[in-house]
Amino acid sequence: MPRRISQVLGVPPKELGKRGVFNGFVDLDSKLYVDPFLLRTAESPELLGAYDEYRAYFVQVLLLLRKSTGRDALFRRARDLLTFKESPFVALGYSQGGITGSGIGRELASRLAQTAKEIINAGVEEPTIFDLVGLIEENVGADRISDMVTRILMPRLLKFSSRIARELQVDTTGLSFDGQSYSLPKDPRTGKPVLFLPDELLRTLPVARDWSDVDRVAAQNSELRRRVNKVIGSTWKQATRRVKKADLRAVLLRYPQLLRELIDKYGRKRARPYDFDRDPDGLFSWFEIGSKFATDYPIRLVQPSADELVEVVRKICQRFGDLVENNGLAKMFYSQAKRLRHEQFAQLLFYAVADSYCAANNLMLTREPNAGRGAVDFKIGSGYSSAVTVEIKYTSNKRLLRGFTIQLPTYAKAEGTSHSIYLVLRTTASDASIKALRKVQRTATKKGERVPDILVFDARLGPSASKS
């Protein structure tokens, strides 16, 4: 079953919370990132002056690129400074299997250096551009920016972890980094170090990617605004969500005043770390909710043979659907503001329910959540000779039908011991997508193809509608 850091170390969650420590899950991804913007307001002793240090790092890069005349030694030195190895044990969440970030390799670092050089040539020399580079550079997202920040500030994070470990009096293990020795909390099961992350640095979406206001592009220059709006729209929100990165990059380099405005808007935005107490996105509550529902509404399961596995998993799915439609679980898919939570919340909630049922019945199944892909794999037998994949989707997901049709050819060729269940949660008033899904299933079946099972459950707020 998933464990949180508090469980790994045997520390009450409140003790971590009082010290500002992120209490993530073991072996499960989190949609949280270290946001460099939040370094400005960080209050932990180890983080005082961290933003200036982070900024100075990129000032050094810009100085090298300004003096560079091409792919010379200065450019290569700047590229090296922009190359970040995968973090060996940084976790937004904690992983037994070796925690790694995304890292930035030499090829991507070269592209970043070239982009920065072009921005300098356009007359902009602000180190903040590296906070925003994810908006205009392919393969640079929040995960890589987060990893970049943690690598630059690793000594500070190690000092933070060492201090908290002393205060909590947990078992520690030694770690050497850049010639310095640190004592980090130790996972008693693996003996590996645990790195504490300050929760004051974590957000679900970094400020550099969150342009949700409606500020006009180049508001003071009507002619410029007219020309640019044709390409990227009238707001930064439109630009960063709908325009290809390559196109946005070209526009910003052609009109550097836009980049200056973007930097200015970024500097004046307000940002707060994720609200761990309320957990509005359900990043952590899914496990407690799922476990409680499984305990309150138990089912009896038996250890299946390979042939019986699909029936056991189908029984788990049917009970999950019953909890959704008849026992109030559907309400959990919505925030206090009645907004539908991200689809991944439902996927993790199903994982928690299924995991609890298997554990309660001493069911020896391997349950592997494919984070971000919407699937939970159930496997049994030597070498996983039999497997059932459950994929959870909302009807509000525009890729609902495409996700099903893409897997049809592969599934049709799969061995008979492999099965797939497409578990659909109805979150829309219209059932058009469900009908389209059923039609594709019927067509494939008439052709004699193997097709995944489709199970549909009503997850709308209010009285349950008739089943589709």
95 pLDDT higher than 60: no
- If asked whether residues 27 and 168 sit together in one domain, one would say yes
Residue 464 included in any domain: no
37 pLDDT higher than 80: yes
Residue 436 included in any domain: yes
309 pLDDT higher than 80: yes
Residue 131 included in any domain: yes
278 pLDDT higher than 60: yes
Model confidence band, residue 362 (pLDDT cutoffs 50, 70, 90): confident
Cα 364 to Cα 303: distance, rounded to the nearest angstrom:
7
Model confidence band, residue 92 (pLDDT cutoffs 50, 70, 90): low
- If asked whether residues 203 and 298 sit together in one domain, one would say no
Number of domains in the chain: 2
Cα 261 to Cα 436: distance, rounded to the nearest angstrom:
45
- If asked whether residues 298 and 204 sit together in one domain, one would say no
* Spacing of C-alpha 360 from chain mean position: 29
Residues 383-396 have a mean pLDDT of: 79
Q: What pTM was computed for the model?
A: 0.81
Task: Using the 3D structure, point to which of 161, 188, 209 is the last residue of a domain.
Answer: 209
pLDDT at position 220: 56
Q: What is the extent of the structural domain holding 313? A: 285-458
Tokens of 311: 């029936």
pLDDT at position 294: 95
218 pLDDT higher than 80: no
- If asked whether residues 181 and 38 sit together in one domain, one would say yes
Task: Using the 3D structure, point to which of 167, 183, 209 is the last residue of a domain.
Answer: 209
Residue 11 included in any domain: yes
pLDDT at position 382: 38
- If asked whether residues 190 and 318 sit together in one domain, one would say no
Average model confidence (pLDDT) across the chain: 84
Beta bridge partners of 172: 185
**Alpha-helical regions (H) of 327-463:** 343-360, 400-413, 432-446
């099965």: which residue's tokens?
419
Cα 206 to Cα 134: distance, rounded to the nearest angstrom:
10
Residues 152-171 have a mean pLDDT of: 96
- If asked whether residues 185 and 44 sit together in one domain, one would say yes
Residue 222 included in any domain: no
Local structure of 198: helix, strand or coil: strand
- If asked whether residues 299 and 190 sit together in one domain, one would say no
């909630």: which residue's tokens?
349
Residue 452 included in any domain: yes
- If asked whether residues 199 and 303 sit together in one domain, one would say no
Tokens of 286: 């899914």
Question: Which carries the bigger pLDDT value, residue 16 or residue 304?
Answer: 16
Residue 231 included in any domain: no
Q: Which long-range contacts (CB under 8 A, 24 or more apart) does 445-453 make?
A: 449/408, 449/412, 450/411, 450/412, 450/414, 451/408, 451/411, 451/412, 452/391, 452/404, 452/407, 452/408, 452/411, 452/419, 452/420, 452/421, 452/422, 453/314, 453/419, 453/420, 453/421, 453/422
Model confidence band, residue 417 (pLDDT cutoffs 50, 70, 90): low
Question: Which carries the bigger pLDDT value, residue 389 or residue 459?
Answer: 459
Burial pattern 266-301, b for ≥16 Cβ within 10 A else e, equals beeeeeebbebeeeebbbbbbbebbbebbeebeeeb
Residues 6+ apart with CB under 8 A from 402: none
The 10s digit of each residue's pLDDT in 242-267 is 778 888 888 888 888 888 888 888 88
Cα 417 to Cα 135: distance, rounded to the nearest angstrom:
44
Task: Using the 3D structure, point to which of 192, 209, 226 is the last residue of a domain.
Answer: 209
98 pLDDT higher than 50: no
- If asked whether residues 183 and 294 sit together in one domain, one would say no
Model confidence band, residue 53 (pLDDT cutoffs 50, 70, 90): very high
- If asked whether residues 291 and 375 sit together in one domain, one would say yes
- If asked whether residues 298 and 203 sit together in one domain, one would say no
pLDDT at position 255: 85
Residues 322-341 have a mean pLDDT of: 93
465 pLDDT higher than 60: no
What is the percentage of the chain residues whose pLDDT exceeds 70? 82
- If asked whether residues 64 and 195 sit together in one domain, one would say yes
DSSP 187: -
The 10s digit of each residue's pLDDT in 122-132 is 999 999 999 88
The full length of the chain comes to 468
Of 327, 326, 319, which is closest to residue 423 (Cα–Cα)? Answer: 319
Residue 256 included in any domain: no
Contact 390/378 with Cβ under 8 angstroms? yes
